[in-house]
Structure 1
Amino acid sequence: MKLRDLSRLALVPAALALLLAACQQQAPVEEAAAAPVAEAAAPAPAEAIADEPALDPNAAPAPADADADVVAEAPAPADTPAPAAEPAAPAVTFATQGEHYDPIPGGQPFEPLAGKIEVVEVFNYVCPACAMFEPLVSAWKARLPADVRFTYVPAPFGGNWDPYVRAYYTAEAMGIAGKAHDGVFKAIHVDRSLKGERGTDSPADIAKVYAQFGADPAQFASTMASFTVNAKFGRAKQYIAAQGANSTPTLIVNGRYRIKGRSWEELLQNTDRVIAQVRAGG
């Protein structure tokens, strides 16, 4: 998904990291120059030809191998060097406890699914850091392999955060959570049509934004207080407490690994390490 507006919120370190990555791209390896073509043998002097004995017409013809020997003695053309192979991508190394992740004793996936490695992002739309992280994590999750499932779990940390947990699960029930995801961040942090942490947004205020993505505003606002949404709200709250996720954004793999990182890029790199470790049976 594209985040043209949210990309303006990216942190300066993230921008510098992208620039550094561009500088590290290796220039194409120049093909080695072809070996010079062997010079043609100079013709023998005329005197040498004159001194050669005349051919005897009665002599037996030379065996076929004679010509082959002459050909074999001719200088072979220089082999054209094969193009240099592109450098292989560095292998992902396994994760180290305490450096790349913190273990979660007794942790369980949020939504277990056989054959899938679960990556959960604990987030909330009102969180400015989540808005800055979203362009990076969106690009990252787009290239995840088929055996990895990415799941958003909105954090009900109280106050102005809680209505957006209800909004997320209402949008999910209506099938518009994915296409509205970036738009809600934009409404809060770019357009400021919603207040987020700056004030209180009513269900009707929030429903107006989701109406841009196909929701009926009245139905959306009423569904935010429904039994189904209340149940999902409680489940998210219970899961986040059990995982020890007390800040956003937080990435959790299979309910057992809470990822560490000193930057957004490092957070994603360490998640890759843990995924590789889980895939290998670690």
Structure 2
Amino acid sequence: MNQRLALLSLLLLPLLTACSRQEPAADAAPAPAPATEAPAAEAPPATDAADTGAADQAAAPATGDDAEADAPAPTAPPAPPVDPNAGASLVEGRDYVEIANGQPFAPRDGKVEVVEIFGYVCPACANFQPLVSSWKSKLPADVRFTYVPALFGGTWDDYARAFYAAESMGLVDKTHDAMYQAIHIERSLKGERGRDSVEDIAAFYGKYGVDPKQFASTMSSFAVNAKAARAKQFAMRSQISGTPSLVIDGKYLVKGSSYENMLQIADELIAMERAAGQ
């Protein structure tokens, strides 16, 4: 019996881990001191139109994608009926934390906002990604899901800027899962096992039809720095200390005993917010 309990504990342990800003990797290069936040915080986020224009100039069309590009975009499932008792089974402090003076990451525009704060270098986020990817594809039409990268310093910040450079070039859908694969499965990139250079990161994205030099330049652009500053402010405002983290409408930080439990709690909080909006 004792052997079975010990084995069960070892199997459950990976489900309960999360990447923390207090946990530097043993063989990672020392992270530089964080830059002063005030100037970056004042930088206005670049408009989507500007980012799209840069993407058109920088991104070369990848071969074999024409049929995929012509296919109609999948539509979100219709919104289910509002349950007036939604969220009644949740317990604050056990299932979620209410964020004091919480604000959504972006204007809600009549939708319930779900944000995942993640890090490509985080093993827990890599384990969570297949679950959250399947889950978000089934969200109703009045729910908006947004990835927000964590900036905990050092290589975390490099990969956060890479995410926003890829977003500006329309590459996230093609590269998000692949980046986790490269770091945690193939190990062609170091992640927290060292520190990948900007050129190494840009070379990865170069496989998806962009000029690596242009990608590296975009990573340090004004628009990307402004988005990175905004992401860092949101994580601090939402009391994020580790990843992966889910934030609902800027108000609720999801807790949970496992990744599956986190998504169940998120479903109930989404339903509660939809009911409140009605």
What TM-score, normalized by structure 1, do the two folds share? 0.67
Residue in structure 1 matching 2:98, options 95, 103, 109? 103
- Identical positions, percent: 57
Any gaps of 5 or more consecutive residues in structure 2? 1-9, 16-84
How far apart are the structure 1 equivalents of 2:209 and 2:102? 37
Distance 1:228 1:206 in 2: 18
Please report how far the alpha carbon of residue 105 of structure 1 lies from its aligned counterpart in structure 2 after TM superposition. 1.1
Q: CA deviation at 1:115?
A: 1.3
What SS does structure 2 have at the residue aligned with 1:144?
coil
Paired residues of 1:176 and 1:214 also in contact (CA < 8 A): no
1:239 aligns with 2:234: yes
Matches within 5 A, 1:154-193: 154-193=149-188
Counterparts of 1:189-268 in structure 2, within 5 Å, are 189-268=184-263
The corresponding residue for 1:129 is 124
Give the deviation of 1:201 after TM superposition: 0.6
**1:148-169 superposed Cα distances (whole Å, 9 cap, x missing partner):** 1110000000011110000000
CA spacing shift, 1:15–1:203, aligned 2, 3 Å: closer
In the other structure, the counterpart of 2:56 is none
Structure-1 separation of matches of 2:120 and 2:153? 13
Q: Aligned partners of 1:278 and 1:233: how far apart in 2?
A: 27
106, 111, 118: which one aligns with 1:116: 111
**Residues 212, 270 of structure 1: CA spacing in aligned structure 2 closer, same or farther, 3 A cutoff?**
same
Q: Is the 8 A contact 2:95 2:255 kept in 1?
A: yes
- Residue aligned with 1:149, SS: strand
- State the SS of the aligned residue for 1:252: strand
Q: What is the identity, as a one-letter code, of the residue corresponding to 1:281? A: A
1:86 corresponds to which residue? none
What corresponds to 2:147 in structure 1? 152
Rounded Cα–Cα distance in structure 1 between residues aligned with 2:136 and 2:142: 12
Q: Deviations over 1:193-245 (max 9, x none)?
A: 10000011111100111112222111001111111011111111111001001
Distance 2:209 2:12 in 1: 36
Q: Which aligned pairs between 1:69-80 and structure 2 lie closer than 5 A?
A: none
Give the secondary-structure state (helix, strand or coil) at the position aligned to 1:274.
helix
Work out whether residues 202 and 216 of structure 2, in 8 Å CA contact, stay in contact via their aligned partners in 1.
yes
Task: Report the CA distance shift for 1:15/1:256 in structure 2 as closer, same or farther (over 3 A).
Answer: closer
Structure 1 residues 15, 200: closer, same or farther in 2, change over 3 A?
A: closer
Retained in 2: the 8 A contact 1:253–1:275?
yes
Please give the TM-score of this superposition, normalised by the length of structure 2: 0.68
Q: Which is bigger in relative contact order (C-alpha 8 A, separation at least 6)? A: 2
Runs of 4+ deviating beyond 2 Å: 11-16, 91-96
Q: 1:196 to 1:202 in 2, by over 3 A?
A: same
Q: CA RMSD in A?
A: 2.0
User: Structure 1 residues 242, 187: closer, same or farther in 2, change over 3 A?
Assistant: same
Letter of the 2:255 counterpart: K
* Superposed CA offset, 1:123-143 (max 9, x none): 010000000000111111010
User: Partner amino acid for 1:145?
Assistant: P
Cα shift at 1:181: 0.2
- Secondary structure of the structure 2 residue equivalent to 1:213: coil
The answer on whether the counterparts of 2:86 and 2:272 sit within 8 Å (CA) in structure 1 is no
What are the superposed Cα offsets for residues 3-42 of structure 1, whole Å, 9 maximum, x if unpaired? Answer: xxxxxxxx944999xxxxxxxxxxxxxxxxxxxxxxxxxx
